[in-house]
Amino acid sequence: FKKIVIALDGYSACGKSTTAKQAASILGYRYIDTGAMYRAVTLYFLENHVALTNQREVEKALVNINVSFKVNSKNVTETFLNGLNVEKEIRKMRVSENVSQVSAIKEVRSAMVEQQRKMGKEKAVVLDGRDIGTVVFPNAELKLFMTADMLVRAFRRQKELLEKDQLVDLDEVIQNIQQRDKIDTTRAESPLRQADDAIVIDTTHITVEEQVDEVVRLALSKI
């Protein structure tokens, strides 16, 4: 089998990571959650009171940040920031509310993109994010772009948060998704956009299983 890079981009809360994770597991591929990397950087910035507009401070902080992934005993990939498991912390609203501002910073992006390219060098990977098919791996063999109706996305995200013991108002979830989409699509540095050769998957009316099947089917046609 040929090893390929699968780039899965799209708006916030469309089911990218759920789909990418499961498709990667079926294909025996590695899954890289690039959003988790930006979330971990955001957590570090928040905890260390890094001033986002101070380039020197940002650069200094980035030198001290090491984000990595480890698979736990339940076969779930977890995110580590400087050796500390931050998987739970990075999914909280506090991080969601600040991550798009942090990920719009040029220096943050170049540091993360460099690391993502290293992680995907050997191929056989599924990466999900916002700029994978356009910037990180513009030559990816399979590019997908996920979208879904706002309300469906918000309900799904709210349920996901609830499963993690976080009760968040639907309005707050909608506001956060809309705000992130706006910042992500309008930023100067590698804004979120659909690559010309990406295949669109609208997840509004389909189940997770159907999403995964579709990704696996498309991947197999390239392998």
Nearest approach, Cβ of residue 50 and ligand C5P (Å): 16
The 46-85 contact track toward ligand C5P, x by CB under 6 A, reads ----------------------------------------
Q: In the numeric block, which tokens belong to residue 180?
A: 């992130």
Task: Using CB under 6 A, pick the residue from 35, 41, 105, 156 that binds ligand C5P.
Answer: 35
16 is in an annotated binding site: yes
Residues pairing with 129 in the sheet: 9
What letters, b where the CB count within 10 A reaches 16 and e where it falls short, cover 182-199?
ebbeebeebebbbbeebe
Cα separation, 31 vs 136, in Å, equals 15
Nearest approach, Cβ of residue 38 and ligand C5P (Å): 4
Q: In the numeric block, which tokens belong to residue 46?
A: 């928040």
User: Any contact of residue 176 with ligand C5P (CB under 6 A)?
Assistant: no
Tell me, rounded to whole angstroms, the distance of Cα 77 from its chain centroid.
13
Comparing CB distances to ligand C5P, the nearer of 85 and 217 is 85
207 is in an annotated binding site: no
35 is in an annotated binding site: no
Task: Using CB under 6 A, pick the residue from 30, 67, 77, 184 that binds ligand C5P.
Answer: 184
Q: Under DSSP, is residue 206 helix (H, G, I), strand (E, B) or coil?
A: coil
Nearest approach, Cβ of residue 35 and ligand C5P (Å): 2
Comparing CB distances to ligand C5P, the nearer of 1 and 198 is 198
Scan residues 114-143 and list those touching ligand C5P (CB under 6 A).
129-132
* Interface stretch with ligand C5P, choices 65-73, 99-107, 141-149, 165-173 (CB under 6 A): 99-107
Residue 124, classified by CB atoms within 10 Å of its CB into exposed (0-12), middle (13-18) or buried (19+), is middle
Nearest approach, Cβ of residue 189 and ligand C5P (Å): 9
Torsion sign across C-alpha atoms 59, 64, 65, 68: positive
Nearest approach, Cβ of residue 130 and ligand C5P (Å): 4
* Residues touching ligand C5P, count (CB under 6 A): 14
Query: To which H or E segment does residue 84 belong?
Result: strand 84-85
For residue 154, give the amino acid letter: A
40 is in an annotated binding site: no
Q: In the numeric block, which tokens belong to residue 147?
A: 């979208």
Torsion sign across C-alpha atoms 102, 107, 50, 84: positive
Q: Where do contacts with ligand C5P occur on this chain (CB under 6 A)?
A: 12, 34-35, 38-39, 99-100, 103, 129-132, 180, 184
Q: Residues annotated in the binding site for ATP, as ranges?
A: 10-18
